[in-house]
Amino acid sequence: MRRKCTRYEGLMERYLTGEILPDERDDLEKHLSLCPDCSRVYRDISGVECALRTFPGKMVDPPPYLKTRILASIEGERKSLWAFLTRTVTAFAAILAIFLIMAVYGYLTRPSSPPSPPVAGEKAETGTKEVKIFFYFPDARTVSITGDFTNWDPKGLPMKKTGKKGLWEIDLKVKPGVYSYNFIIDGRLLVPDPQAPEQTPDGFGGMNSILLVPKGDVS
Amino acid sequence: MSFDDDVRIVKRVRRGDRESFALLVEKYERPIFSFIYHFFNDYALAEDLTQEVFLRSYRFIRTYDTKQKFSTWLFTIARNLCIDEMRKREKERTLPIDEVRGGNIENPSSRNPEDIAEALSDSAFLKRLIAKLPERYRTALLLFYFHEMSYEEISSVMGISMANTKIILFRAKKMLSDLYRKGE
C-alpha cells in the first residue's frame, strides 16, 4: 500500500462492515481495480475478517470454582476492612473511656493543695513497659498472641511454656495504652483471654480481649 | 439482564447488598475471562486476572458512572489490568508495530494470500497470531469480533475516538495478514 493509498484504509473498513456511502464505494472500487497493492490488501483483509467472524472459540468457559473464588476474595476484603474499622473504633472508645475514668478519679481524689510539679524520672514512664501475660490451655501444642501490638499478624508472637502443666506465658514490651488481643492455638484457633479484665465484640460474632497498660509501675 | 438491570443491581450493591454483586459476577465472569484468556493465551493467568477485575470493580463500584454501560466499565478495568500485567512481565511478546507493518506487502513470502482465510480457520494458529499483536490492536480486535462491541463501546473502553477505532481495527487485521505472510 503506497502512502497516498492510506486514505482508503478507513473506506475499506467501512466497506467490509457495510457502512460505506455510495459515492465512497464507487471511489474505492475504482481504486481497487487500478491499484494492485490495495487490491491484494483488501483480499487479505477480507480473508482475515472471515476467519475472525467464524472463529469457533470466542467464549471460553472459566473453571467452575472461579465464581466462588471471586466472591470469597470480595468477602475477605470486606472483612479485613470491617476488622480494621472495628479495631480502630474499639481502640478509640477504650482510650476515651480511660481518659474519662482518670478524669473522674482525679476529680474525686484531688488534693486540697496545688499539685506538685513533675519530678525527674517521669519522662522515663513514656517508654515501653513489660507486661507478663499467662494463658492456661493444656491441650495446645503451640500458643501465640496477636493483637494491635502485632498489627494482628496471623502468626502472632509465640508464647513459652511455664513449669506448670498447660500454662503458657509471654513478656510483652509495649507502650502504655489500650490494646486488643487474642491467643492463637496451634496456629489456627483464635480465642480470647478469659483472664482479661475486659472484652469487646470483634465484629464477627467473637470477642477480643482488652489489655490496659497504664503509665507508671506495671504489676 | 439489560443495561437497566445492571444499573439497578449496582445501586443495590452500593447500598450494601453484597449478595447482588454475585449476579454481576454470574453474568460477566465468562466474557471477562474469555477476553483475558485470548489477550494472553494463558488460562491460569486469566483466572487470576478475572478475580482481580471483579475485586477492583467491587472496591471502586462507587466510581462507576451509571450513564455508561456496566460491561464497558468492567472491560475498561480488564484492559487496564492486562496492560499492567504486560508491563509487569516486561516480556511483551508482540512485535513492534513498524516491524509488523514493514515492507512485506511489496515482498510477500511464498505463502499464497488466497489461502489466508483457510489458514486462519485453524483457531489455534489464529489465537497465537492475535496474541502477537500490540496491545491496542489486540484489544480492539477482541472487543469487536469476540465480544461484539460497537465502535462506540470500544472507543469508550479504549479512550479513543470512533474514527480512530475503525482505523485501529483495519490495521489490526492488516497486521494479522502480514504476520501470516511473514510465516509467524
Q: What is the pLDDT of residues A99-144, one digit of tens each?
A: 888 888 877 776 554 444 333 333 444 578 888 898 888 888 899 9
The verdict on B71 and B22 lying in the same domain is yes
The verdict on B124 and B168 lying in the same domain is yes
Output the CA torsion sign for A83, A85, A87, A89.
Answer: negative
The verdict on A47 and A12 lying in the same domain is yes
The verdict on A46 and A140 lying in the same domain is no
Within a domain: A12? yes
Whether the full predicted model's pTM is greater than 0.90, yes or no, is no
The verdict on A10 and A78 lying in the same domain is no
CB-CB neighbors (< 8 A) of A71 in chain B: 21-22, 25
Give the per-residue pLDDT at B3.
65
CB-CB neighbors (< 8 A) of A60 in chain B: 30, 33-34, 37-38, 43, 46
The verdict on B64 and B114 lying in the same domain is no
Give the per-residue pLDDT at A5.
80
Whether A70 and chain B come into contact, CB under 8 Å, resolves to yes
Mean pLDDT of B137-164: 94
The verdict on B78 and B11 lying in the same domain is yes
Please identify, among B64, B89, B114, the residue that sits at the C-terminal boundary of a domain. B89
Give the per-residue pLDDT at A203.
66
The verdict on B27 and B53 lying in the same domain is yes
In whole angstroms, give the CA distance from residue B54 to residue A74: 8
The verdict on B108 and B143 lying in the same domain is yes
Please identify, among B89, B121, B155, the residue that sits at the C-terminal boundary of a domain. B89
Q: Cβ–Cβ of A66/B50 closer than 8 Å?
A: yes
Count of domains in chain A?
A: 2
A166: left (phi over 0), alpha (psi -120 to 50) or beta: left
Cell numbers placing A189: 484457633
Within a domain: A59? no
Nearest to A55 among B123, B166, B180 (CB): B123
The verdict on A201 and A96 lying in the same domain is yes
Task: Judge residue A38's burial from the number of C-beta atoms within 10 Å of its C-beta, 0-12 exposed, 13-18 middle, 19 or more buried.
Answer: buried
Are B55 and A77 spatial neighbours (Cβ–Cβ below 8 Å)?
A: yes
Q: Name the residue with higher pLDDT: B3 or B96.
A: B3
Within a domain: A16? yes
The verdict on A94 and A39 lying in the same domain is no
Per DSSP, what are the bridge partners of residue A207?
A: A201
Mean pLDDT of B66-77: 94
CATH of the domain at A206: 2.60.40.10
Whether B21 and chain A come into contact, CB under 8 Å, resolves to yes
Helix (H, G, I), strand (E, B) or coil at A156: coil
Task: Judge residue B115's burial from the number of C-beta atoms within 10 Å of its C-beta, 0-12 exposed, 13-18 middle, 19 or more buried.
Answer: exposed
Interaxial angle between packed helices B123-130 and B162-182, expressed in degrees from 0 to 180 and rounded to the nearest 10: 120
CB-CB neighbors (< 8 A) of A72 in chain B: none
Give the per-residue pLDDT at A217.
55
What is the domain range of residue A171?
Answer: 69-104+126-213
Nearest to B177 among A44, A62, A63 (CB): A44
Q: Cβ–Cβ of B21/A74 closer than 8 Å?
A: yes
Count of domains in chain B?
A: 2
The verdict on B124 and B76 lying in the same domain is no
Whether A78 and chain B come into contact, CB under 8 Å, resolves to yes
**Where does the pLDDT of residue B112 fall: very low under 50, low under 70, confident under 90, or very high at 90 and above?**
low
Q: What is the radius of gyration, based on Cα positions, of chain B?
A: 18
Helix (H, G, I), strand (E, B) or coil at A190: strand
Within a domain: A113? no
CATH of the domain at B105: 1.10.10.10
Please identify, among B89, B112, B136, the residue that sits at the C-terminal boundary of a domain. B89
Interaxial angle between packed helices B162-182 and A36-53, expressed in degrees from 0 to 180 and rounded to the nearest 10: 100
The verdict on B153 and B82 lying in the same domain is no
The verdict on B56 and B8 lying in the same domain is yes
Closest by alpha carbon to A167, among A189, A139, A209?
Answer: A139
Scan residues 24-63 of B and list those with Cβ closer than 8 Å to A: 25-26, 29-31, 33-34, 37-38, 43, 46-47, 50-51, 54-55, 58-59
The verdict on B104 and B122 lying in the same domain is yes
Are A153 and A146 spatial neighbours (Cβ–Cβ below 8 Å)?
A: yes
Task: Specify the amino acid at residue A22.
Answer: P
What is the domain range of residue B25?
Answer: 3-89
The rounded mean pLDDT for chain B is: 85
Name the H helices within chain A: 7-17, 22-34, 36-53, 66-108
| Helices and strands (H, E) in chain A, number of each type | 4, 9
The verdict on A172 and A100 lying in the same domain is yes
The verdict on B78 and B121 lying in the same domain is no
Q: What is the pLDDT of residues A199-214, one digit of tens each?
A: 877 766 678 888 888 8
The verdict on B78 and B12 lying in the same domain is yes
Nearest to B25 among A40, A53, A71 (CB): A71
